[in-house]
Amino acid sequence: MSEKRLTNVGDLYSEHHKTGKRLGRSFMEDVRSELFKNWIGTGKDILDLGGRDGTMTRHFLEGNRVVIGDIDVEAMARAQQDYGVDTIEVDLNQALQFEDESFDVIVLAEVLEHLPYPKVTFGEIQRILRPGGMLVGSIPLAYHLKDRWQVLRGRKLWVNADPTHVQFFKYNELLEFFENYLRVEDVISIKGGKKAEWFPKLFARDVAFCCKKAA
């Protein structure tokens, strides 16, 4: 089920994923994998958008039918080789090549922050999810207290951030964005410590989320 359609953006991400030893690693893998597995369950048709080399995908493969969609064809080749998962090249800035209501679950893990046109992507996610279908994922947040302190110290916002990040959501803004497309079921702080669990609007630095499409 694999396609190959090289693009400049695809080449960019292929090179980007090779830097900093990003392949074979996944941010907070233990924490996120447990959350995703619990939310997803089994017996599902899953599309993992931005699944790269399958490092996170492997945790919810068992008992499910999974396709990775990504623009980095080299990373997906590793997913095919290592985990036998189906892959397809996708450009998340355009209409996706799937029929309406094709999937029970879509995974968007540490991807939303990279999307220049998130409204396009979420319109497509809403279209290809089945009624009652689920979106699970995670995203780093911006404008929490640590970011604000950086600015007060005269440093640029997210001075050490990934240069491919183009979206910077506050906690409330993220939930409001989701609600335009899907119903928010759960949002869990995964970075920021105990204070982030109690006061996510102020301290959460990365969150995992579960949203559902109306049945």
Rounded mean pLDDT, 168-176: 92
Using one digit for the tens of pLDDT, what is the confidence trace for 123-155? 999 999 999 999 999 999 977 555 555 655 566
Does the pLDDT value for residue 115 go beyond 80?
Answer: yes
Rounded mean pLDDT, 112-131: 95
- Helix (H/G/I), strand (E/B), else coil: 129: strand
**What is the pLDDT at residue 204?**
86
**What is the pLDDT at residue 18?**
53
- Helix (H/G/I), strand (E/B), else coil: 46: strand
* pTM of the entire predicted model: 0.82
Rounded to the nearest integer, the mean pLDDT of the chain is 85
- CA 163, CA 147: separation in Å to the nearest integer? 16
Pairing relationship of beta strands 65-70 and 45-49 according to DSSP bridges? parallel
The band of 193, judged by pLDDT with boundaries at 50, 70 and 90, is: confident
Does the pLDDT value for residue 121 go beyond 80?
Answer: yes
Q: Is the dihedral of CA 97, 51, 64, 138 positive or negative?
A: negative
Residues 6+ apart with CB under 8 A from 128: 47, 96, 98, 99, 100, 101, 102, 103, 106
- Helix (H/G/I), strand (E/B), else coil: 65: strand
Could you give the domains of the chain? 8-140+169-192+206-212 (3.40.50.150)
Using one digit for the tens of pLDDT, what is the confidence trace for 53-105? 999 999 999 999 999 999 999 999 999 999 999 999 999 999 999 999 999 99
The band of 165, judged by pLDDT with boundaries at 50, 70 and 90, is: confident
For 158-181, b where at least 16 C-beta lie within 10 A, e where not — what string?
A: beeeeeebebebebeebbebbeeb
Q: Is the dihedral of CA 139, 145, 146, 149 positive or negative?
A: positive
